[in-house]
Amino acid sequence: MVDSIFIGLSVITIGSAILSLESRELLYGGIALAVSMLGIAGYFIILDAPFVAMFQIAVYVGAVAVLIIFTVMLVRAPNTITKKETRKRKIAGILLGLAFLILAGSILGNSAATQLKFNDTVPIFDVQAIGKELLTYYSPVLLVLALTLAAAVIGALALARREDIEERNEPTN
């Protein structure tokens, strides 16, 4: 039962990951990316991390992917598949990807990694455990994260501000 869920999720996640890069229309690519992120959230549920899965759906699928799709619609580039994407570059990309796959796969495939096992006797970490960690050991990190988000907001606002409107109001000296 679970295994079939795992295989199904893998097909959806990896398939839509490939689709997000290879689709003809950039917009479909963005949607495929969102589906791939949903697949990752599915893995999180299988791995007994429902809170993180919710967070993934809310932030990644709900905010990041939607933001990306909006940007795709704003920057309707005339040619989404460029001539610059030469065959040589494509072969180099496939070779590099395969090289990493084989390297990491061989490290994973050796006997030490396959000894890693999931433990079935431990309790599941629920929201309480995560919240406790967040408010004790990681509390300074949480405060710094607030500053990071503030920095992102200030930076994005500074970038989005229209210069031409502002200049009309400023005295020239």
**Residue 4 burial by Cβ neighbours in a 10 Å radius (0-12, 13-18, 19+):** exposed
How many residues appear in the chain?
173
Instruction: Provide the minimum distance between the beta carbon of 161 and another protein in the complex, in angstroms, as a whole number.
Output: 6
Instruction: Provide the minimum distance between the beta carbon of 126 and another protein in the complex, in angstroms, as a whole number.
Output: 8
As given in the structure block, the two tokens for residue 56 are 């993934």
Scan residues 100-139 and list those touching another protein (CB under 8 A). Answer: 100-101, 104-105, 107-108, 110-120, 122, 124-126, 129-130, 133-134, 137-139
Instruction: Provide the minimum distance between the beta carbon of 153 and another protein in the complex, in angstroms, as a whole number.
Output: 8
Between CA 144 and CA 107 the distance in angstroms is 35
Between CA 11 and CA 17 the distance in angstroms is 10
Instruction: Provide the minimum distance between the beta carbon of 107 and another protein in the complex, in angstroms, as a whole number.
Output: 5
Among residues 8, 25, 73, 96, the one that binds another protein under rule CB under 8 A = 96
Among residues 8, 25, 59, 73, the one that binds another protein under rule CB under 8 A = 59
Binding-site size for another protein (CB under 8 A) equals 108
Scan residues 6-35 and list those touching another protein (CB under 8 A). Answer: 6, 10, 13-14, 17-18, 20-21, 26, 29-30, 33
**Could you say whether residue 66 binds another protein (CB under 8 A)?**
no
Between CA 37 and CA 61 the distance in angstroms is 6
Between CA 10 and CA 39 the distance in angstroms is 8
CA 61 to chain centre: 9
